[in-house]
Amino acid sequence: MIAIILNGEQRQVRGGSIADLVASLGLDVKKVAVERNREIVPRSTLADVALAEGDALEIVHFVGGG
């Protein structure tokens, strides 16, 4: 387990990629925008970017509606 800050809250999560974290949150990787340590992470690289101790992530998911 590693400590990260997710949307302003301290959390303990399993190591892995950002895509793994998004999936564990029950979100669709195709419908999120992720900022890691104040830098936007391109959606095409979410599976390649490993989480690290102390990372600060902001995850925004898109919701359709009408």
Q: How many structural domains is the chain composed of?
A: 1
- Residue 26: CATH number of its domain: 3.10.20.30
Q: Is residue 28 part of a domain?
A: yes
Written as one string, the DSSP assignment of 2-64 is EEEEETTEEEEE-SSBHHHHHHHTT--GGGEEEEETTEEEPGGGTTT-B--TT-EEEEEE---
Q: Residue-wise pLDDT tens for the chain (66 aa)?
A: 999 999 999 999 999 999 999 999 999 999 999 999 999 999 999 999 999 999 999 999 987 776
The predicted structure's pLDDT at residue 23: 96
Q: Is residue 27 part of a domain?
A: yes
The predicted structure's pLDDT at residue 63: 76
Domain span at 32: 2-61
The predicted structure's pLDDT at residue 62: 85
Q: Is residue 45 part of a domain?
A: yes
* Token pair 């590693």: residue: 2
